[in-house]
């Protein structure tokens, strides 16, 4: 156990609600009324951390029983140069404002590195917001002799689905609203077609009154997919696109593991691990593109609440696999996805330029670059590998 001015660094004690309160206070102190995603929502943390078996991979700093800093390290396997390596995703680091520039962040990272080396991991990936003061910690650790490698910059792509609410929540200026309109970044996705198959069924041609169970026709499918706020249904605009089912897991495992050997640094998925990420209540969902009786495309996304002037839900794309589809099919898939998340009451979508798949279909759907970006770094422990300059990686961004 380490000590720093009355602070103990130790395994996280498990109080998710307390962590959320601390993180919310810290982020609000930093961003004011500007919008930020609630990455510490307990449901999301249960999804992200729920499969972790090593208790010492979640580190927290406490003072007088109160949590003042947090850092998570999640084991992931990766394909790199035709071999599988044991890596980590390191993130969610947050600390109280009064502990900034006191050496606490560097201390908790040093403790994490010590633990990671003890478990003999090959590397640990982490993202840092471009230009943020947290990057000073990297320079400090590099000066101390730690091996830190920069892979590449990851930029934000955005798509607005409700410009009025997004502008109000994010506090967009008039010129920003005008810019979104000029690039078509707020266009409505193509409407659902009658007879579209959703969840393996054919959508009813009979309109269903929202929230009125008596209006549900009997003896025929309705095309409604459970989910969204107020029991709204989500329709897709393409008959080949539907929600993921457990029976799709093997197809999806093949789709996502196909990146191994094709991109520079790729996640190496295990079956149970992927199944957990593809569907988790109120957090993770996946749409698949069915072709010839099999799932041949998949878009996995996370539901995040953005806390700005108002609280609004956004969809963050997590994983994409659709290289087996034609560009026309990819475009139809993205349009169906946009219509689906809009029906879940999401006001926008976030994607990141990770470089591991062709984003042409997303640009066709009027995704546009946003000015925020993060840099992907590695604490590299294995002396036989060099991750510097890698531009293709399908690790999550949180």
What is the mean pLDDT of the segment spanning 161-179? 96
Q: Are strands 197-198 and 368-380 parallel, antiparallel or unpaired?
A: unpaired
Domain annotation for the chain: domains and CATH numbers: 2-153+376-380 (3.40.630.30), 157-374 (3.40.630.30)
C-alpha to C-alpha distance for 131 and 129, rounded to whole angstroms: 6
Q: Which of 53-62, 209-218, 228-237 has the highest mean pLDDT?
A: 53-62
Q: pLDDT by residue (tens digit) across 315-348? A: 999 999 999 999 999 999 999 999 999 999 999 9
Are 109 and 116 in contact by the 8 Å Cβ rule? The answer is no
pLDDT of residue 204: 31
HEC string of the chain? CEEECCEEEEECCCCHHHHHHHHHHHHHHHHCCCCEECCCCHHHHHHHHCCCCCHHHEEEEEECCEEEEEEEEEEEEEEECCEEEEEEEEEEEEECHHHCCCCHHHHHHHHHHHHHHHCCCCEEEEEEECCCCCHHHHHHHHHCCCCEEEEEEEEEEEEECCHHHHHHHHCCCHHHHHHHHHCCCCCCCCCCCCCCEECCEECCCCCCCCCCHHHCCCCCCCCCCCCCHHHCCCCCCCCCEEECCHHHHHHHHHHHHCCECCECEEECCCHHHHHHHHCECCCEEEEEEEECCEEEEEEEEEEEEEECCCEEEEEEEEEEECCCCCHHHHHHHHHHHHHHHHHCCCCEEEEECCCCCCCHHHHHCCCEEEEEEEEEEEEECCCCCCCCCCCCECCCCC
What is the mean pLDDT of the segment spanning 242-263? 97
371 pLDDT higher than 80? yes
The token pair that represents 259 in the structure block: 């990146």
C-alpha to C-alpha distance for 104 and 327, rounded to whole angstroms: 48
Write down the pTM of the prediction. 0.87
Q: pLDDT by residue (tens digit) across 17-66? A: 999 999 999 988 877 778 899 999 999 999 999 999 999 999 999 999 99
> If 0-12 CB within 10 Å is exposed, 13-18 middle and 19+ buried, where does residue 221 land?
middle
247 pLDDT higher than 80? yes
Are 67 and 22 in contact by the 8 Å Cβ rule? The answer is yes
Q: Which of 135-144, 236-245, 366-375 has the highest mean pLDDT?
A: 366-375
2 pLDDT higher than 60? no
pLDDT of residue 99: 85
Beta bridge partners of 367: none
pLDDT of residue 207: 34
pLDDT of residue 57: 98
Q: For all residues of the chain together, what is the average pLDDT? A: 88
Q: pLDDT by residue (tens digit) across 299-323? A: 999 999 999 999 999 999 999 999 9
């Amino acid at each position: 156990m380490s000590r720093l001015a009355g602070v103990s660094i130790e395994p996280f004690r498990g109080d998710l609600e307390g962590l959320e309160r601390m993180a919310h206070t810290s982020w609000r102190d930093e961003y004011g009324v500007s919008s930020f995603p609630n990455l510490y929502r307990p449901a999301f943390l249960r999804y992200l951390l729920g499969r972790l078996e090593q208790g010492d991979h979640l580190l927290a700093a406490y003072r007088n029983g109160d949590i003042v800093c947090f850092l998570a390290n999640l084991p992931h396997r990766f394909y790199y140069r035709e071999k599988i390596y044991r890596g980590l995703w390191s993130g969610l680091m947050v600390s109280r404002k009064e502990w900034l520039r006191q050496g606490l962040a560097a201390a908790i990272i040093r403790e994490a590195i010590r633990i990671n080396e003890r478990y003999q991991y090959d590397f640990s990936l982490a993202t840092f917001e471009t230009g943020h003061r947290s990057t000073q910690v990297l320079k400090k650790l590099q000066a101390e002799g730690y091996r830190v490698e920069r892979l590449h910059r990851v930029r934000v792509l955005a798509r607005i689905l409700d410009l009025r609410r997004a502008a109000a929540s994010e506090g967009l200026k008039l010129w920003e609203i005008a810019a979104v309109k000029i690039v078509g970044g707020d266009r409505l996705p193509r409407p659902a077609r009658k007879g579209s198959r959703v969840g393996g069924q054919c959508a009813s041609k009979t309109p269903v009154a929202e929230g009125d169970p008596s209006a549900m026709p009997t003896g025929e499918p309705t095309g409604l997919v459970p989910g969204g706020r107020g029991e709204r249904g989500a329709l897709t605009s393409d008959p080949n696109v539907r929600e993921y089912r457990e029976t799709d897991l093997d197809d999806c495992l093949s789709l996502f593991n196909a990146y191994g050997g094709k991109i520079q640094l790729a996640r190496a998925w295990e079956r149970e691990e992927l199944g957990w990420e593809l569907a988790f209540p109120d957090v993770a969902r996946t749409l698949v593109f069915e072709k010839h009786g099999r799932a041949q495309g998949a878009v996995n996304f996370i539901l995040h609440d953005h806390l700005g002037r108002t609280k609004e839900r956004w969809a963050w794309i997590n994983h994409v696999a659709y290289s087996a589809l034609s560009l026309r099919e990819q475009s139809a898939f993205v349009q169906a996805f946009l219509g689906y998340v809009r029906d879940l009451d999401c006001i926008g979508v976030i994607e990141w330029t990770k470089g591991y798949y062709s984003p042409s279909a997303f640009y066709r759907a009027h995704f546009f670059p946003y000015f925020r970006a993060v840099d992907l770094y590695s604490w590299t422990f294995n002396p036989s590998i060099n991750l510097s300059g890698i531009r293709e990686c399908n690790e999550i961004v949180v």
